[in-house]
Amino acid sequence: MATPIFVTAASIAAELHQAMLEAKGLALTAKNARALAVRAGSKTVGFKAITHFIDELASDIIRQSQYINGVSEKLSQHAVSLWRSDTAARKFEWLESQKLPHGDSLYDAMHNCYSEREKLSLMLSRGLRELEAQLEEGDKHIRTANLIATSSKVEASSAGDFRAQLEVIAQNITTTANQIRQHLTNARRLLNQKHS
């Protein structure tokens, strides 16, 4: 059975909510990395520079996840309204086919309902296109995260006594980036599935 679009949109919002929580964890990783880099001094200058990028990336992902979350929630609301207005429109269509003696008195209500359905349908299509574009934008962040993770590993390897701790941080970045990527993949899979 096809999934109702309002369920899909709410599920996408939930995936992005999880991505946002992961990104908050990434921001914390950036703070820990910076504190460690300060303690480690000159051996970790390269790593310290990277922490600024991690921080910035985390803020970008949080901002974008919140935005997509908002778009998805709005979309879910529009889809519910569309479902309700479509249900009403189908009843009106049936009534119209009955050629009732006072059927004309329904004309205004009926046509308001039909135009509302059309308006909502248009809003839904636009919203879905925007969601698709935003998810693609999210992929760019993941590519950046992977670059940062690789650079972090390289910098960690030359950090002397702090190598082990910095390697853990580099691994955290990789793990978090993978988790965020998974949430984006799930969101895209939801968007591409069959809807009713």
Which residues sit at the interface with other proteins, rule CB under 8 A? Answer: 1, 4, 6-7, 10-11, 13-14, 17-18, 72-73, 76-77, 79-80, 83-84, 87, 196
Shortest Cβ 128–other proteins spacing (Å)? 16
Shortest Cβ 46–other proteins spacing (Å)? 38
Shortest Cβ 83–other proteins spacing (Å)? 7
Closest CB to other proteins among residues 13, 89: 13
Closest CB to other proteins among residues 34, 188: 188
Closest CB to other proteins among residues 62, 79: 79
Shortest Cβ 191–other proteins spacing (Å)? 15
Closest CB to other proteins among residues 25, 46: 25
Taking every pair of Cα atoms in the chain, the longest distance, rounded to a whole number of angstroms, is: 90
Euclidean distance between CA atoms 192 and 148, whole angstroms? 30
Closest CB to other proteins among residues 81, 165: 81
φ, ψ for residue 3 (rounded to 5)? Answer: -85, 135
Euclidean distance between CA atoms 106 and 96, whole angstroms? 9
Shortest Cβ 72–other proteins spacing (Å)? 8
